[in-house]
Amino acid sequence: DTLMPSQAGLVVGRFGQHADVEDEQGKVHRCNMRRNISSVVCGDQVLFRPGKDQTLTVSGVIEAVEDRKSVLTRPDYYDGIKPVAANIDQIIVVSAVVPALSLNIIDRYLVAAEDVHIEPIILLNKVDMLDEQQHKEVQEQLALYRDIGYRVLLVSCKSGQGMDELAALLKDKTSVFVGQSGVGKSSLINQLLPDAEEAIGDISDNSGLGQHTTTAAKLLRFPGGGSLIDSPGVREFSLWHLPEGRLTWGFIEFREFLGGCKFRDCKHRDDPGCLLRDAVGTGQISQQRFDSYHKILAGMAEQRPSYSKPP
């Protein structure tokens, strides 16, 4: 037998047919997976058998995956929905004040996070670009989110503003950063994890049949405690696959009004006896969020799911 006895490990890297598993002493073992295991992703707690011959590139085998307390998913050409990361405590929804703050885009990410039952945190980056008046306006726009119970962080990775608060939030948690391109995710991650450079992205997996390049996912540790799971797939996380009902539920302040409308199939538009619209009337739901909901709904009707391309 070329393998040592089973032990517990944490998946800290995932690419191609392999996974890097960290044992309880912090040593990393490159592993294959038993065929009966359907999927292994970064953040998974696994049972694995390290290889005896540590000079081999791939020496261990993952035998079982523990139940996940949460899982982030994305669309996949073959499987419909594919897990990309596991056991995440919080999703940092990154957006930026330039070129413009889009509350609708923030809402989309919040809904997607609610749908996977992972706490989202709103991070607004590039606040160094705001003058005092604009800063005040942004604060006012975001007060809405604080009122409904979300944590909101104003940050600049250029000036350093808010970065200590961010580091404190990340401590002892497993987080992911999501958001559109250009909002500053890489900049934030590079600042929080100076050694992360080159850790994420395309790496070469040359231990299989012929050399090919695959997209890697990594679990990285913050110097002050806590970890980050990152990969292109993680960053692309969005709500493409939600059915209507789950979209409505994803607006957390709508929940208490759901199920009570006069008509069972209430579209929450002009329907008589709509409790959501009544709540907008009384100020219990903001017009802003109500409009945002309808905008997302309209977009979903038009859009077909965009599956990621097969390799």
Q: Name the site residues for ligand GDP (rule: CB under 6 A).
A: 125-126, 128-129, 156-158, 179, 181-187
Report residue 246 as tokens.
Answer: 């789950």
**Cβ nearer to ligand GDP, comparing 128 with 271:** 128
**Cβ nearer to ligand GDP, comparing 155 with 247:** 155
Minimum CB separation of residue 176 from ligand GDP in Å reads: 13
Minimum CB separation of residue 80 from ligand GDP in Å reads: 27
**Cβ nearer to ligand GDP, comparing 163 with 203:** 163
Neighbours of 167 (CB within 10 A): 16
**Cβ nearer to ligand GDP, comparing 128 with 205:** 128
Q: Give residue 176's identity as a one-letter amino acid code.
A: V
Report in angstroms the alpha-carbon separations of 83 from 3, 46, 88.
28, 15, 12
Minimum CB separation of residue 47 from ligand GDP in Å reads: 35
Minimum CB separation of residue 154 from ligand GDP in Å reads: 10
Please state, in angstroms and rounded to a whole number, the distance separating the CA atoms of residues 245 and 261: 14
Neighbours of 79 (CB within 10 A): 12
Report in angstroms the alpha-carbon separations of 165 from 146, 212, 219, 272.
16, 41, 21, 46
Minimum CB separation of residue 290 from ligand GDP in Å reads: 29
**Cβ nearer to ligand GDP, comparing 151 with 158:** 158
Report the b/e string of 118-148 with b at 16+ CB within 10 A: bbbbbbbbbbeebeeeeeeebeeebeebeee
